Amino acid sequence: MKLTARNTHRDIAYFYLGLIIAFSFSGIFLNHRQAWHPRRYTYNAQEIQLKQTVVKDSVNDKFIAAFTQEYKIDDQLRRFSVDGNTLKVSYVNNDVQVDLTSGKGKIESYRTTPVLGQMTKLHVDTSKWWIYYSDVFGVAMLIIAFTGMFIQKGENSFWGRGWKLALIGIIFPLIFLFLLS
């Protein structure tokens, strides 16, 4: 095989095709995680009623531990807070909201959406080997970008009109980054 920009571009793109597709989908999903998060979908919602009214100031670590045990929530506590008269408790796989005035609340349990949830994990994984692989992938994307600049010849080449599109492609995200965020 002759080492040319076209061959390098093609072969690296073929090699990383699966990861490019996975990153594309998971990036789209993560952009819209407020509406639907593939790593946390509700599979069970249980209405609850506290046996007694709770005073806002009595919500502490001891209260949350007793609550967790009483409602048989076998999960790791992340945090809790009282916002107005609403108790919010967040566990790794469960969320709880209780109106302290009425004692009515809901326990929502979550699971990861199969395949899609795992794909989004690729964007946030911090294992040492995955970081190395992701760094190699980043370099490969740079090679694909730079070799792609030299594949086309003539008026449709990078130096013919491609540089204008590339410049717009660089400016567009900068507008969102600095002016619209």
Q: What is the C-alpha to C-alpha distance for residues 100 and 87, in angstroms, rounded to an integer?
A: 7
Alpha helices in 79-127 (DSSP H): 116-124
Side-chain-side CA neighbours of 114 within 13 Å: the count stands at: 0
Specify the DSSP element, H or E, that contains 42. strand 41-49
Lay out the sheet containing 104-111: strands in order across: 41-49, 104-111, 94-99, 86-91, 77-83
- Identify which of 105, 104, 80, 102 has the alpha carbon closest to the alpha carbon of residue 91: 80
pLDDT tens digits along 2-49: 888 888 888 888 888 888 888 788 777 777 767 666 666 667 889 999
The residue extents of the domains of the chain are: 5-35+114-150, 41-111
pLDDT tens digits along 94-121: 999 999 989 999 999 888 878 777 777 7
**Is the torsion defined by CA of 89, 114, 124, 34 positive or negative?**
negative
